[in-house]
Amino acid sequence: MDTFNADVECVLRKQKLFFDSGITRDVKFRQSALEKLAASIKKHEKNIYKALYQDLRKSEFESLATEVSGVIDEISFLRKRIGKWSKPRRCPVHINNKPASGRLYPEPLGSVLIFSAWNYPFNLCMTPFVGALAAGNCVVVKPADQAPATAAVIIKIIEECFDQEYVAAMPGGSDHAACLLKHKFDYIFYTGGEHAGRKVMHAAAEHLTPVTLELGGKSPCVVEPDAKLKVAAKRIVWGKFLNAGQTCVAPDYLFVHKSIKTALLREMRKVIEQFYGQDPQQSPDYPRIINSRHFQRLTGLIGEKKCFCGGESDPDDLYLAPTIIENVSSEDPVMQEEIFGPVLPVMTWDDFDEVLDFINSRPKPLAMYYFSKKCRHLDRLLSRTSAGGMCVNETVTHLTNPAMPFGGVGNSGMGAYHGKFSFDTFTHLKPVLNKYTFMDFPLRYAPYAKKLKILRFICKY
């Protein structure tokens, strides 16, 4: 660990010198870096797919759809716009400051530390990394050690594209992460669980380092009696069992009106078979649990509960079937923590106030989903509850829109990214007031005798 600590110190010294040289502030330099990164990702595309299959048994389709394409799109979106976003822009000045002009200067922060998560190990590492590069920062990347094959590909891509004085990839486990947090960075971006997020925030506070925390939470999926059941069933099943449920914005529990519960669950069971066949373990499109520790945790959450469907598991294959549990109460273990796996507990409601009261009794979720044709309770749900983001008659896909920020609120995180919001996250907007000298009002200067009435008149106070 002493060697690793020395390596980090050396990298940060080099990065400070490189950043202070001003090279990264040049827009063309940043665009070139992003182009080089995109070319390397495309060059290693097959290796990325193999690594994701090795770590999570993801199909090539799912790997492209949820991991690689989003990163390439983010690079293209930012590369085309950073010239405009990096320019100083005028802002109005208050009458008290006139005669003067005001400008806002976007400037990079310095050295940024990015912690990735294992569930989407390529996307959740590279997407914030792209934002940090676009904003003109030097970067230290810590890939997820729980997805070692993908981490190895990420490190290869970074080392192929960049010198350590600009971008450094730091592999290793929790000890290495703790060592990184002892050092002073200008910004920390963390994606992962709430427990580790608290540790990151505590460590950052020692250096007064700002953070973005992308965490999670129990994201509710509320279904009204007028919902279009066939469509709702497909979209809920897709969003829940994508990546075997290991998605931070997956529907964590289903809150369905009691009059349609049975009909909806039967439709969802049909959809699961349509997607993955009678035996999902044999499906090439159904991923696996990341490791045995998470597998044991998930099977423990199911416990002795009677499953409406699913429940089958194979510890040797890290396979857990798409599982729906009904007759769940708010006190059950499966309702006490974020599930982060292919287990969907079902609760029912009769009066919509029950929905509002229940959601508000829990920590604020990262996402919320609402299914209804007429959406007669949508305004109440929007105005009376809080969540990081929301979809109506859809799940998960709100985070794919670069014009929308993606992030949490309360226990589900702080800060946001994607598109322009990534650029803003890794940028300081420096205000500069330019006071003209052709006029100099004496009012603000001492002595202040006989000036108070004039000041009150100007301030209308």
Q: What pLDDT does 259 receive?
A: 97
Q: What pLDDT does 409 receive?
A: 97
The predicted-structure confidence for 401-418, as pLDDT tens digits, reads as follows: 999 999 999 999 999 999
Task: Please check the confidence at residue 95 and state whether its pLDDT lies above 90.
Answer: no
44 secondary structure, DSSP code: T
Residue 354: pLDDT band with limits 50, 70, 90: very high
460 secondary structure, DSSP code: T
Task: Please check the confidence at residue 198 and state whether its pLDDT lies above 80.
Answer: yes
Q: What pLDDT does 306 receive?
A: 82
Q: What pLDDT does 458 receive?
A: 81
Q: What pLDDT does 429 receive?
A: 97
Is 161 a known active-site residue?
A: no
Q: Residue 170, class by beta-carbon neighbours within 10 Å (0-12 exposed, 13-18 middle, 19+ buried)?
A: buried
pTM beyond 0.75: yes
Q: What is the mean pLDDT of the chain?
A: 96
Task: Please check the confidence at residue 450 and state whether its pLDDT lies above 90.
Answer: no
Residues 6+ apart with CB under 8 A from 446: none
Of 198, 196, 144, 139, the residue nearest 172 (C-alpha): 144
DSSP of 168-216: EE----HHHHHHHHTS--SEEEEES-HHHHHHHHHHHHHTT--EEEE--
Residue 2: pLDDT band with limits 50, 70, 90: confident
**What is the mean pLDDT of the segment spanning 5-19?**
95
Q: What pLDDT does 159 receive?
A: 97
**What is the mean pLDDT of the segment spanning 433-457?**
90
**What is the mean pLDDT of the segment spanning 65-89?**
97
Q: Which of 161, 248, 309, 391 is catalytic?
A: 248
The predicted-structure confidence for 303-322, as pLDDT tens digits, reads as follows: 877 899 999 999 999 999 99
Please state, in angstroms and rounded to a whole number, the distance separating the CA atoms of residues 234 and 169: 39
Q: Which of 62, 67, 165, 214 is catalytic?
A: 214
- Cβ–Cβ < 8 Å for 219, 251: yes
Task: Please check the confidence at residue 228 and state whether its pLDDT lies above 80.
Answer: yes
The predicted-structure confidence for 168-183, as pLDDT tens digits, reads as follows: 999 989 999 999 999 9
Task: Please check the confidence at residue 353 and state whether its pLDDT lies above 90.
Answer: yes
The full set of domains in the chain, from first to last, is: 2-215+412-430 (3.40.605.10), 220-407 (3.40.309.10)
Q: What pLDDT does 44 receive?
A: 98
Q: What pLDDT does 73 receive?
A: 97
Residue 455: pLDDT band with limits 50, 70, 90: confident
Q: What pLDDT does 325 receive?
A: 96
Is 214 a known active-site residue?
A: yes
State what percent of residues in the chain have pLDDT above 70. Answer: 100
Residues 6+ apart with CB under 8 A from 56: 119, 121, 147, 243, 244, 246, 287, 288, 290
